[in-house]
Amino acid sequence: MPTKQKKEASLEALKGAFSKATVALVADYRGLTVAEITDLRRRIQNVGGDFTVAKNTLVRLATQDDSWKAIAPHLAGPTALAIGFDDPVIIAKTLTDFAKEKRKVQIEIRGGVLQGNSLDAKAVKALADLPSREQLLAKLMGSVNSPATGVVMATAGVARKLVYALEARRKQLAV
């Protein structure tokens, strides 16, 4: 049984994580082995998040006085939290991909909170289906770059046609 100091330390760690977080997703981890939980924890850490198993009471205490209160309805039974600090989409994508990969064990994603708004399991799946921040930036840069490329190609096309016309005229005069 954890001592009061350990519980207080866990509570402070949760409060610190929630203060920096952009998204928090709640999942049921029952059926996963320690190795699988460690694998999932490493995957989420590699994309800028944290995966932790926490007591529901401590999570409620850590989120009672800020925008994370909406997480309370998702706290029932054994709870694991996937907390994202940067891109919320990549955290949801990592968690759902892991759940798909481990079909032999049913990982139930209960829901979560994104910037103060409650998400149900369907909304978490929809969030995971969105393109990541990097993909969106790449599409935006492609869209911004596209008109400039078109202008360059059109200008180069005119110059190329002029060169072809001059070359054809030179051949006519040479005959």
Q: What is the pTM of this model?
A: 0.69
Instruction: Yes or no: say if 7 and 60 are a contact pair by the CB < 8 Å rule.
Output: no
- At 2 the pLDDT is 65
Residue 104 has pLDDT above 70, yes or no: no
Written as six digits, the tokens of 170 are: 């030179």
Give the whole-number percent of the chain exceeding pLDDT 70.
92
Tens of pLDDT, residue by residue over 34-54, are 888 888 889 988 988 888 888
- At 40 the pLDDT is 87
Is the alpha carbon torsion for 57, 62, 63, 66 positive or negative? positive
- For the segment 130-140, the average pLDDT, to the nearest whole number, is 77
Instruction: Yes or no: say if 48 and 87 are a contact pair by the CB < 8 Å rule.
Output: yes
- At 6 the pLDDT is 85
Which neighbouring-strand residues pair with 113?
24, 118
Q: At what angle do helices 88-101 and 121-129 cross, to 10 degrees?
A: 100
The residue with tokens 């529901």 is 56
Task: Name the CATH architecture for the domain at 4-130.
Answer: 2-Layer Sandwich (3.30)
Query: Could you tell me which residues come within 8 angstroms of residue 2 by beta carbon, excluding any fewer than 6 positions away?
Result: 10
Radius of gyration of the chain (CA): 26
- Backbone φ and ψ of 104, nearest 5°: -65, -25
Residue 64 has pLDDT above 60, yes or no: yes
Instruction: Yes or no: say if 22 and 85 are a contact pair by the CB < 8 Å rule.
Output: yes
